[in-house]
Amino acid sequence: MLDFSGNMLSGSIPSKLGNLRNLQILRLTSNRLTGSIPSELGNCTKIIKLDLGKNNLSGRIPPEITSLPKLQSLFLQENKLSGAIPDSFLSIQSLFELQLGSNMLDGTVPCSLSNLHHFSSVLNISHNRISGKIPGCLGNLDKLQILDISSNNFSDELPTEVNNMISLYFVNISFNHFSGKLPATWAILMASYPGSFMGNSELCLLGNEARYCGEFKEQRHTRGGVLAGVLIGGVISVALICALIYILVVRSLHKKYFNDPSLLQESQSRTEELPDDMKFEDIMRATEDLSDKYVIGRGKHGTVYRTESTNSGKHWAVKKVNLSETNYCAEMRTLSLIRHRNVVRMAGYSIRDGNGFIVTEYMPGGTLFDILHRCEPRMALDWKTRFRIAFGIAQGLSYLHHDCVPQIIHRDVKSDNILLDSEFDQRLEILGWQS
């Protein structure tokens, strides 16, 4: 792994990095890098995570990058990249997260994206200049959970094939030029995120009396208006029935998994993802089976322990939550997407014996509340340090509110949720966020 993120590096990305044939992770995010992305990076055929986001990179996206066979996560957001998205995605790839937002990309959405059978996390192409219709082939991404295509130049009707994207729980199509009717399954999502569909003046949004579907507008004051109301009511009824069926199916699957130990064990093995140098047994051994003497925090959402990796000796924080009392899966999905230097980073998670365990970076300085009120002897923070802490937390909140997908409103910012390292660098704790 090479990680040079957040170092204010300037200049271009060396093409000689392509000689690192065994490189698996390359992080150059949050620097001041310029120039184009070297196509030689396509020689790093073992790379699984490539993060070049938040720089000033320009030019086209090399197709050699998007066709890397083992690539799982590609982050190119917040650059000045132009041209079309390469139509070079392959079915053999393991890509499950693609972040291309806030660039100057144009052209259309390539259908080769539908070849990605493991595409299960995020597709973000927002804030670009991409145009044309949404291709029906996008409906093949039935495992995708988050889709953000907002602030582009898309037009025409949304294809009915998007109803096949059954795993979506967040969609943002705002500020485009869509028309016609909103697909039934997306109408359900609109109830949770209504702002994600605004800015499409010709799009029929169910429940918005000011925007009936186009074919009924001219007949609002005639008998056709009655027919429009009947049809809209019918569509709403179908949407509600779909929602009810969805809830019943999910509840049935929930009972099936938790009543069948073999299925639960299989599910757990698929959802556990811990740091490379850590096993779940390391957590239990380092905390002496979660002894109270390793507790570093308690709250309504769970208990936090300090642990360490047996191999590297690196310290981690582990939060234990009861799966029956928290929306663990939704929390995991959201936490895994958050990447900001002023927000606590999630490193992994596990499910064991009805409990969820969330592994995050360990902050040895404790909380800001500890420093201000609990430490003996009392520590004095000068105004320069206080300003730096406040400014860093403000940047973290700005990221959560505006740049994170989906956007998050913390609603519980307090000194107990501001963590510090040994040099008073600050992180905002969100293990208990509310959105």
pLDDT in tens, 143-179: 888 899 999 999 999 999 999 998 888 889 989 999 9
Q: Which residues of 320-357 are buried (b: 16+ CB within 10 A; e: fewer)?
A: bbeeeeeebeebbbbbbbbbbbbbbebbbbbbeeeebb
Higher pLDDT, 31 or 331: 31
- pLDDT exceeds cutoff 90 at 100: yes
The reported pTM is 0.54
Please report where in the chains the tokens 């969820």 appear, as a residue: 356
412 is catalytic: yes
Higher pLDDT, 155 or 274: 155
Q: Report how far residue 68's alpha carbon sits from residue 46's, in angstroms, rounded to the nearest whole number.
A: 8
The tokens for 211 are 């925007």
Q: Which of 87, 403, 412, 425 is catalytic?
A: 412
**For 139-221, where are the E strands, in sequence order?**
146-148, 153-157, 170-172, 177-181, 202-204
Helix (H), strand (E), coil (C) string for 283-307: HHHHCCCCCHHHEEEEECCEEEEEE
Q: Report how far residue 258's alpha carbon sits from residue 274's, in angstroms, rounded to the nearest whole number.
A: 23
Residue 300 labelled as part of a binding site = no
Per-residue pLDDT band for 33 (boundaries 50, 70, 90) equals very high
Computed on alpha carbons and rounded to an integer, the radius of gyration of the chain in Å comes to 24
Per-residue pLDDT band for 192 (boundaries 50, 70, 90) equals low
Mean pLDDT across the stretch 198-215? 62
Give start and end residues of each alpha helix (H) in 362-422.
Answer: 368-369, 383-398
Greatest distance between any 2 Cα atoms in the chain: 80
**For 153-254, where are the E strands, in sequence order?**
153-157, 170-172, 177-181, 202-204
Instruction: For residue 355, give the DSSP letter.
Output: E
Instruction: For residue 174, give the DSSP letter.
Output: -
The tokens for 356 are 């969820």
- pLDDT exceeds cutoff 60 at 244: no
pLDDT, residue 433, reads 44
Mean pLDDT across the stretch 53-67? 94
Q: H or E segment at 91?
A: none
pLDDT, residue 41, reads 95
pLDDT tens digits, 389-431: 898 889 888 888 877 777 777 777 888 888 887 777 888 887 6
Q: Report how far residue 41's alpha carbon sits from residue 50's, in angstroms, rounded to the nearest whole number.
A: 10
What is the chain's percent helix, strand, coil content, to nearest 5? 35, 20, 45
Across 87-101, 132-146, 286-300, 421-435, the highest mean pLDDT is recorded for 132-146
Helix, strand or coil, per DSSP, at residue 330: helix
Per-residue pLDDT band for 207 (boundaries 50, 70, 90) equals very low
- pLDDT exceeds cutoff 80 at 273: no
